[in-house]
Every structure is written in structure tokens, then in C-alpha cells.
Structure 1
Amino acid sequence: MKTFVLGGGCFWCLDAVYNMTRGVTDVVSGYTGGAVKNPSYEAVCAGTTGHAEVVAVTFDETVVPEDVILGMFFASHDPTTLNRQGYDVGTQYRSSMFYIDDEQKQTFVSAIERAQADWRDPIVTEVVRLPEFYPAEEYHQNFYAKYPHVGYCQVIINPKLAKARKYYAEWLIA
């Protein structure tokens, strides 16, 4: 098993994509990259903690290759916009990859280099060592599965899921 900690805007979006991916065994929405211990959602959203909204996605690389997990990451958000994803603006929505060792850092850097071919503008995804990871509150976990009819899910997440299906249908469950 392998775990990647990735930030691509609101964690609900990545959570939805990865929870529908074959070989993914766990997705935990959370916060990392900031200075405040045990931050709350409200504090992170206020933009004063330095934390990013992220997911810790654990997957079986014998079922789904890490390149697919990382390809889905780049397909599920715009890695060329600094500190924003659509209407979500602030450092908490930055495109980010948090590595645990030098091997994972190189994996992330290589993934950015490959993904750049798909984007006209430069990718601004930060690659930094993983500090403390704080799981988000329970109501954020598996949000899309719990609340698929909420407006945010319909307007923001559904198009991201459609894009993931377009490029990664063979890896998605139903």
C-alpha cells in the first residue's frame, strides 16, 4: 500500500474521485502545510492557518498504478492557478503535493513534468515535505457519497467526476 497526500482545491472534489477508484483503500480529507495544530475547518477556510485542504489517498499499487493516481490528481483540478480553484480562493485551496521521502518527492516532480504537456500555462503545484496531517471533521469524510444532491456537488464536483471518467474510466468503479 502507498499513500499520497494531495491538495487540489476543496478536498471534497479529490475525495469524490478517489473514492470511486479501483485499488483505493482509503481516502481521508484533512489539513496540512500550516502552523496551527489541530485546525478546524472554519479556521482553515479563514485562510489564517497556512494549511491546505488535502486528501490522504491510500491505494494498492498492484491494482492501480501511482501514475494513474497522479494523473487523476492533475485531471481533477487546475494546477496552473495559484491559490484558487474556481470560486474557492485562498492558500488553503493551493495545488500541492506533500511527500514523505526523497523517492516520493521525485515521483511527484516527475508527475508534474509529465502533466505539463497537458497544460498551456505553467503548473504551479507546490511539492513540499509532509508536516503533520490533521484529519478533517467527520462530516467532510466521503462528502460526495453522503450528499450528492448538494449544490456544490452538482455544480463543482460532478464536472470533475465527468472529466475523470473521460480519461480514467477503466480505473473507476461504476
Structure 2
Amino acid sequence: MPCLGPVPRSFYDRDTIDVAHDLLGAFLVHDVAGEVRVGKIVEVEAYLGELDLAAHSSRGLTQRTRILFGPPGFAYVYLIYGMYFCMNVVTEREGNACAVLLRALEPVRNLRDRSQGPGLLCRAMGIDLRHNGHDLESPDFFIAPRDENEAHQVVARPRIGVAYSGIWAAKPLRFYLEGNRYISRK
């Protein structure tokens, strides 16, 4: 595992699909009351702003979505089904409202619970609504770079659970590491 310092904001201030690809193999790090939890990101989904009917930002700027419209490199955390938290990382320049959903982690350190699926990932990492708007350049909750010497193959598939979004449902905007046993679904 490489050094556990955060990637710079410029990492997120790029095309969302490029960021999604580059998040695969990177490490999500969270200090939870002195226990540092680390998971390797193995599955993500890209959300491409206001035109993407599967993205929360497609409904425009609201109190809930204001983080998405802000600068890149911040966590967008929300509650679904009244019981699960999901975490996205905001990408691209301010105003674009793009993000990448973190879907699954491979346990690296202090992850005792399942982390396959966005809700389980957040539960295992101790992420909840208090982390919405959190700066991912902070020392206690961040994404560390992947090991550039580690080769991996990326698989692209349609996103999960977005059938309501018309043509956007079939777009191959879910990415995962081929052969990784910790992905949520093939």
C-alpha cells in the first residue's frame, strides 16, 4: 500500500469518467475514533451532471444537491431507502455537478463488516450524513492514491438501480476491477 496521504484536489478536477477509472485501486481512508479504516476501491459509478437523468443533479440545484455543484474533492453523502448512506466524490469544475459513487471496497485495514455495495461500504467505513460536504483533502477522511505499479483491468457495465433514467440506464458508467471478489455485482 502506498503512502496514506490524500490525493490533491486536482485529481478530482478532471473528467468524471477519468476520475472513476483512476479511483479503482485507490484507498479510502477514515479515522473513526482513533481506528484507521482502509479499503481499496474496487467498484464505482460515474454520474455526469445535470443532463444525466440518473444523477441527483438532474433535478437542478437544491439544498440536498448543493455539494454536487460545489468545488471538486468533497464528499456527497446521502440517505437512501431511509436506512443506507451512499458516498460520492464530487468531480470536475465547480458548477458541473458531476460525481463518482463508491460502490465496493476490498478490505485492507480494520474493515470487519462487508463493504460490497454503497450502503454496506458506508456502514463498514463509518460514513454517515455528518460526512456530507467533507473535504477529502483532510487528514482524517480521504482517498489515497493507488499503487501505480499494480496492474489491473477495468470492466465497464451499466449502473445499478437506475432503470428510471431512460437511455442513461444502459450507459456503461459502472466500473470495476476485473476478477476482484469484492465487487457488489458482475
Task: Give the TM-score category using the shorter length.
Answer: under 0.3
Query: Normalised by the size of structure 2, how large is the TM-score?
Result: 0.26
Query: Normalised by the size of structure 1, how large is the TM-score?
Result: 0.27
For CA contacts below 8 A with separation 6 or more, give which structure has more relative contact order: 1
